[in-house]
Structure 1
Amino acid sequence: MSDEFESATAEVPKGWYPMPDGRQRYWDGVRWTENFTTQPPTHQKLEKRHRNLVLLGWALGILVVVILGVAVVRILHLESQQQQIYDQIRRDIDNVRP
């Protein structure tokens, strides 16, 4: 039975693993060490940074779409106002003609 246990634990790679209390503990490939940390290992920091960058990218993308949408609506509104002014000038000119 100990051979099965040793072969099973030998397959687990060295590294930091989460503990139930939220801390991390280091597995040296053979046994648990007395090394604990509250900070995630480097790969988790990179994953968190990547996730934050993805969220930032989405937020910036949405912001660009909103700004472009507002710009298009504003341009269309200005064109509509110009058309109304043009139509008013035409009516005024038609009213002045004998």
Structure 2
Amino acid sequence: MIHHSDAGSRYTSFRLAEHLDAAGIATSIGSVGDAYDNALMESTIGLFKTELIKPRRPWKTLSDVELATAEYVAENNHYQAAKKPQVTTNI
């Protein structure tokens, strides 16, 4: 697993780095001043919030959010797999 972020102070702190390292999570920090470096992740998070988090507020527990997130990811992965064109070869 990789934790990717911008170069903001909360993401470059020693405390966060130690926490991620203890959990076995690698860190990745985008280049400074590059607005496009993190664009895909920002877009993905925005879609996640729009489609799942905001419409179902208020959340009662963290477990509810975790379960809903797992279901959301599984549903979207299944949808994406179903959309892939089937490759056939005629030999």
TM-score between both structures, scaled by the size of structure 2: 0.30
Q: Which has the higher contact order (CA 8 A, sep 6+)?
A: 2
> TM-score with structure 1 length normalisation?
0.28
More helix by share: 1
